Amino acid sequence: MTLAERMMPALRCLDPETAHSLALMALSWGLAPPVAETPRPILKTRVWGLGFVNPVGLAAGFDKDGRVPRAVLGLGFGFTEVGSVTPKPQPGNPKPRLFRLTEDRAVINRMGFNNGGHDAMATRLAKFRAGPMGQGIAGVNLGRNKDSSDEVRDYVLGVERLGALASYLVVNVSSPNTPGLRTLQDRGPLTALLTAVKAARDGLANRPPLLVKIAPDLASADLEDIAAVAADVGIDGIIATNTTITRPAGLRDQQKGQIGGLSGAPLKTMAKDVISDLYQLVDRDIPLIGVGGIASGADAYARIRAGASLVQVYSALVFEGPYLAARITAELADLLERDGFKSVAAAVGADHR
């Protein structure tokens, strides 16, 4: 057992945000040694022309400032996503703002895009790209400043400042913790935003794939609009989903009444349903990343069969420890082989066939 794994019981006794900061420090200090196992060939997949050693990534929110992408990839993740990052540094919402719902295997956060801004992120990503594992897949999740008077410009600035360092870019319009952000998911504002951001992306020499991240709290008509906008504008992918502002029945933990976005196990069914619906709406033309409540190989496999080309985890790390991705990928490979699939891509959308 590594020192990072031995630290887990103690971290769970601390305030969640303090524990998160210590986890980042542990990774930056090399206290969680890289996974030694060679990736199993069946897990390799190709999306947007990028070669993934496996389809399991770390979702945005853990490494907000791009401090530990190399260490994250060493834990067995096929890719990582840093951010959300805003043009100017901002402190986020007042503390406490992160809550661990142990009884429900869930987390509530109202962080508010706390981050060090574009320049600090660019410095760290440039260092990552120049070092070991610098060719690893690291996406950048873009947000807007809370006090911004031109939200579209904030996202365009993110593309211009960080696009050259990003394996892919994500337009985050679904965090519930920045006032007014989710209104950008409406058809008119979303079309205007994505059109401007895509134009900025198209001006880059490397032209990284452009994705949008959406909320789980959307009606069927909203999903139809998002699928139509994605196709009309010509973006490359959709991440579904962010946290939910609803509180599913059956939550038991005393922290369940906290304000903020809920993630983890209670989100699993809702997030899977969104992937399933989107997959049928985009006619397989726009790859999807499934996130929300994934904590096992079976969860990842179910999301892939529902239509996700890739999956992401985050909240489950709080309860399962740093080597969760290695366990998920091993279980996923077994399930793919059990059912006769030769690759991850062959299983995508299998439930709809």
DSSP secondary structure of 133-178: TTTS-EEEEE---TT-S-HHHHHHHHHHHHGGG-SSEEEE---TTS
315: containing domain: 39-352
Which among 170, 76, 73, 162 is positioned nearest to 119, based on CA atoms?
A: 162
| Res. 176 pLDDT band, cuts 50 70 90 | confident
* Residue 22 in domain: no
What's the structural domain count of the chain? 1
d(CA 123, CA 270): 37
* Residue 3 in domain: no
* Residue 92 in domain: yes
Global pTM reads 0.96
pLDDT of residue 175: 79
pLDDT greater than 80 at residue 179 = no
* Span 25-49, pLDDT tens digits: 999 999 999 998 888 999 999 999 9
Beta bridge partner(s), residue 42: none
d(CA 344, CA 36): 22
E strands, the chain, are 45-47, 50-52, 56-58, 79-85, 98-101, 106-109, 138-142, 169-172, 210-214, 237-240, 261-264, 288-291, 310-313
Residue with tokens 């901002």: 90
Q: Amino acid identity, residue 262?
A: L
* Span 69-90, pLDDT tens digits: 999 999 999 999 999 999 999 9
Torsion sign over Cα 220, 222, 225, 227: negative
Number of continuous H segments (helices) and E segments (strands) in the chain: 12, 13
Question: How high does pLDDT run on average in the chain?
Answer: 94
3-state secondary structure of 342: coil
Q: Is-cis flag, bond preceding 84, omega within 30? A: yes
| Res. 1 pLDDT band, cuts 50 70 90 | low
d(CA 178, CA 84): 12
* Span 292-315, pLDDT tens digits: 999 999 999 999 999 999 999 999
220 is catalytic: no
pLDDT greater than 80 at residue 17 = yes
d(CA 270, CA 282): 19
pLDDT greater than 90 at residue 261 = yes
pLDDT greater than 90 at residue 68 = yes
Strands 310-313, 169-172: pairing is unpaired
d(CA 184, CA 180): 8
CATH number of the domain enclosing 211: 3.20.20.70
* Residue 8 in domain: no
pLDDT greater than 90 at residue 180 = no
**Angstrom distances, CA of residue 280 to CA of 190, 235, 284:** 20, 17, 7
* Residue 28 in domain: no
Angle at 195 between CA 227 and CA 89, to 5 degrees: 105
d(CA 139, CA 141): 7
d(CA 53, CA 188): 37
Beta bridge partner(s), residue 47: 50
* Span 309-340, pLDDT tens digits: 999 999 999 999 999 999 999 999 999 999 99
pLDDT of residue 12: 79
* Catalytic-labelled residue, pool 84, 148, 167, 175: 175
* Residue 26 in domain: no
Which helix (H) or strand (E) segment holds residue 14: the answer is: none
pLDDT greater than 70 at residue 181 = no
3-state secondary structure of 36: coil
* Residue 21 in domain: no
For residue 216 the two structure tokens come to: 């789980």
d(CA 345, CA 251): 35
* CA 112, chain centre distance (Å): 16
* Residue 29 in domain: no
Q: Residue 126 contacts by C-beta under 8 Å, 6 or more apart in sequence? A: 165
| Res. 9 pLDDT band, cuts 50 70 90 | confident
* Span 196-209, pLDDT tens digits: 999 999 999 999 99
User: Do the Cβ atoms of 138 and 80 come closer than 8 Å?
Assistant: yes
